[in-house]
Structure 1
Amino acid sequence: MIRRLFYMTLGASLAVWVMRKLEALKPEHVARRTASHLRDFAGDVRAGAATRENELRARHGLGTVGHRPTNNDVKDGR
């Protein structure tokens, strides 16, 4: 009796775990996580590029460049 109860509990736990893993693989969840990671990566790349540009400008005697916020909502290409 205890053995059956153990295996029934184990099976139910595995079923819940598998269902949660499968739920996480839905396209909307994957897209949301991917977009978040890409946004973070792009921010890191921009920060690294600005740092490197300031290093190069300092080495060659040019002024430093401040961080300019980008506005991607402009429709006319400016």
Structure 2
Amino acid sequence: MIRRLFYMLLGAFLAVWVMRRLQALHPAHVARRTVGGAADMLTQVRDFTSDALGEAAGRETELRAHFGLGNAETND
């Protein structure tokens, strides 16, 4: 009796799990997750680019000051 109950509960659990996995593969859900992931990645790329350009400008200023080349805007 316990054995049958165990297997019946196991089957019900697997059926619910499979149904949830299949519903997650619905095209609307996949598209929503893809758009969300792409938006997050775009934000990360923008942050990285902003940081890299800021650091590059700072380093250029340091090098110009070190070698006495003047200001980058005036091209002295």
TM-score for both structures, normalised by structure 1: 0.74
- The answer to whether structure 1 residue 42 and structure 2 residue 53 are counterparts is no
Gaps of 5+ in 1: 64-78
State the distance in 1 between where 2:5 and 2:12 align. 10
Deviation at 1:31, TM superposition (A): 0.6
- 1 or 2 for the larger relative contact order (CA 8 Å, sep ≥6)? 1
Letter aligned with residue 23 of structure 1 = Q
**Structure 1 vs Structure 2 CA RMSD:** 1.4
Alignment of 1:1-78 (within 5 A): 1-61=1-61
> Which is richer in helix?
2
Large movers: runs of 4+ above 4 Å: none
State the distance in 2 between where 1:19 and 1:55 align. 50
Letter aligned with residue 15 of structure 1 = A
Gaps of 5+ in 2: 62-71
Query: How many equivalent pairs are there?
Result: 63
TM-score for both structures, normalised by structure 2: 0.76
